[in-house]
Structure 1
Amino acid sequence: MEKGSKRMAVLVGCNYPNTKNELHGCINDVKAMKKVLVKRFGFNHAHIELLTDAPRSSVMPTGANIKAALDRMVDKAEAGDVLFFHYSGHGTRIPPVKSAHHSRKDEAIVPCDFNLITDVDLRHLVNRVPNGASFTIFSDSCHSGGLIDKEKEQIGPSVFKKEKTSSHKHKTIPFESVLQHLTSLTSINTSDIGTHLLESFGGDASLKFRLPLDKLDLMHSKKDEGILLSGCQAEETSEDVSDSEGGGKACGAFSNAVQKVLKENSGPLSNREVVMMARKILRAQGFEQHPCLYCSDENADAPFLWQPEC
């Protein structure tokens, strides 16, 4: 493998089987994406790590395992490489850490063990990517807008009239439910979720709860190649649906929309075009979620998952 020519991916699908939070399309989402990565974008099977909570999975998508897989991918990266992280599963919003630059609720994805991975963790990963390598994060989860902390918003909030009532399941777990679950594990009487995460997961807990406040404030955005395609805005929910065109195969609405975009357009598409076309499909289907794009101005118009020029 020549330097700067690797295409690497971590694909995570969490269905939370046999729980009250169960979803049905998330594992299908990442399996479908794996096929597209290989056939259309030239990824090597050996450089794609797939983590799902399907029965008999050898590696479960716990918080520690997801972060370890992402760490391995970033550690191998060189200038010119293409890195991709696709997450399909639940998302949640958590109260902000009280610091100068954290005045809003923060976004997090919810691994199968509830060891939250926050926007701070993803910002830390992006900051480690070598100059000249691209790192695209594709999150089909609720509250996924802004999942890379402090990344520039290119396509953000929008409103349109809902065209039909959705009977699909939202990919969200309310913060109160996450807190209740963790409290049942720790038996500690506090509403501070950081206390529960640190007690349950120790050094595997999110950096958001392990770093001192002054270091969190200093974790600002540098010029980077981080690209986030989110399934919805920060305050919205993403949908877990049955695709009637796929014979009733369950899927995430955003993941499925992007699959349709790629199928209907054979040439290179910019990150901006992928998000706008996916929005158009979701609107036509009557979904009240608005995919967003967060990245630099240059990367907004850069081709989605095509090799960057060094």
Structure 2
Amino acid sequence: MEKENKRLAVLVGCNYPKTRNELHGCINDVLTMRDTLVNRFGFDLNHIKVLTDDGSASILPTGANIKKALDAMVDQAKPGDVLYFHYSGHGTRIPSLKPGRPFRQDEAIVPCDFNLITDVDFRQLVNRLPKGASFTILSDSCHSGGLIDKEKEQIGPSHVTTEISGTLSVTDNIKPKAIPFESILQHLSSLTGIYTSDVATHLLELFAADASLKFRLPPLEVNLFESLKPDEGILLSGCQANETSADMMNPVMTGGKACGAFSNAVEMVLKKHEAQLSNREIVMLSREVLKEQGFEQHPCLYCNDENANATFLCQPAAQNTTL
């Protein structure tokens, strides 16, 4: 009997409790998505690993722990398997270390211990996928566009099928999911006692081999992780690389339950449309939801041409119903 393909997920919610960077809806985001994965997309609860920083999870979402969980998921992947990573938390932009790009900025997520996970780390994970497996990343964080280095833009600053504009109308209950690079440096400097603007120096001092590949490898070696051909990485980002994503602390539209604006938009789209939706449809419909709510963030899609129109998370046809 042919073995059924696995559906594996790592869900990370960072609220940074009792810090100046505290958010409110990130853990709610991943717990809601956990239920959606099980009830709609056929994931086994035992194949979903949840990392949160509120004390409810057995594993804290440190940089090392997140990468360990992602590595384990990719390591056990076989052709046909569906892998999913949902991150809700802070994001940031860091100066590029690549030769010839002194003014370019690269994207990173901010685990609870500030051990940054960068676009190069996600590129390396995607490059390790066995042929025929897919890896979908949904990042509800600031500056998340382009979080898989060198992934092809399908919907974003250069490729948008509709003009989206809006004004943030509920600012009293909104907090951006961004930590400025200067604040990252200040925090890391307070831990290392080293006063330099070179973030790599701090991260290597604090985390050594657990620091991002971007900081552990010479820039020329980092370039070896660039995508040379279409791959199975799929990124749904909460916003463009130069934008922020919103954390809604007391949103009227969710009955007062704190959540990330993008995560909530995706959930609203899935509830409204019970039929299969493509990755492109998920992003465009989420853009419409956020526009109606008055947000200025623009979700993006990065993947190869085929996956742009592929079904989001390969939703089993048996669970498909008519719109």
What TM-score results when the alignment is normalised by the length of structure 1?
0.96
- On the 8 A contact 2:10/2:85 being kept in 1, the answer is yes
**What residue ranges of structure 2 are gaps of 5+ in the alignment?**
158-162, 318-323
Q: Per the alignment, do residues 170 and 213 of structure 1 end up closer, same or farther by CA in structure 2, a change over 3 Å counting?
A: same
Q: Distance in 2 between matches of 1:56 and 1:275?
A: 30
- Give the counterpart letter for 2:165 in structure 1: F
Q: 1:212, CA displacement in angstroms?
A: 1.4
Q: How does 1:64-75 map to 2 (within 5 A)?
A: 64-75=64-75
Residue number in structure 1 paired with 2:171: 166
Once residues 195 and 237 of structure 2 are traced to their aligned partners in structure 1, the CA distance between those partners, rounded to angstroms, is: 34
Corresponding residue for residue 231 of structure 2: 224
User: 1:125-204 alignment to 2 at 5 Å?
Assistant: 125-157=125-157, 160-162=165-167, 164=169, 166-167=171-172, 168-204=174-210
> Is the CA contact (8 Å cut-off) linking 1:153 and 1:295 kept in structure 2?
yes
Q: Select which of 209, 222, 226 maps to 2:215.
A: 209
Change (3 A) 1:271 1:189: same
Deviation at 1:55, TM superposition (A): 2.5
Distance in 2 (alpha carbons) for counterparts of 1:2 and 1:198: 46
Written as runs of structure 1 = structure 2, the 5 A alignment for 1:290-301 is: 290-301=298-309
Relative to structure 1, the CA distance from residue 163 to residue 216 in structure 2 (aligned partners, 3 Å threshold; closer, same or farther) is closer
Partner of 2:262: 254
Does the alignment pair 1:30 with 2:30? yes
In structure 1, what is the Cα distance between the partners aligned to 2:67 and 2:56?
21
Kindly tell me the number of residue pairs found equivalent between the two proteins: 309
**Residue 217 of structure 1, CA deviation:** 1.9
Aligned equivalent of 2:160: none
Pairing of 1:102-113 with structure 2 (within 5 A): 104-113=104-113
Quote the residue 1:58 is aligned against: 58
- Measure, in 1, the Cα distance between the counterparts of 2:97 and 2:237: 23
Secondary structure of the structure 1 residue equivalent to 2:197: coil
| Residues 279 and 290, structure 1, Cα contact 8 Å, conserved in 2 | yes
Question: 1: CA distance between counterparts of 2:127 and 2:68?
Answer: 16
Match for 1:33: what amino acid? M
**In the alignment, is the contact (CA less than 8 A) between 1:81 and 1:308 conserved in 2?**
no
Amino acid at match of 1:228: L
**Structure 1 unaligned spans of 5+:** none
Amino acid at match of 2:304: S
CA distance in 1, matches of 2:50, 2:90: 17
1:18 equivalent in structure 2: 18
- 1:9 is aligned to 9
Bigger shift: residues 50-59 or 123-132 = 50-59
Asked whether 1:49 is paired with 2:49, we answer yes
Task: Check if 1:237 corresponds to 2:244.
Answer: yes
Q: Which runs of 4+ in 1 moved over 6 A?
A: none
* 2:26–2:88 CA contact under 8 A, matched in 1: yes
CA contact (8 A) 1:227 1:295 kept: yes
**1:287 counterpart = 2:295:** yes
Aligned-partner SS, 2:287? helix
Q: Write the distance in 1 (CA, Å) between the matches of 2:201 and 2:309.
A: 41
What secondary structure, in the 3-state scheme, does the structure 2 residue paired with 1:195 have?
A: helix
CA RMSD of aligned residues (A): 1.7
Deviation at 1:101, TM superposition (A): 6.6
Q: 1:112-131 to 2 correspondence within 5 Å?
A: 112-131=112-131
- Looking at structure 1, the residues matched to 137 and 47 of structure 2 have their Cα atoms a distance apart, in angstroms, of 16
Match of 2:320 in 1: none
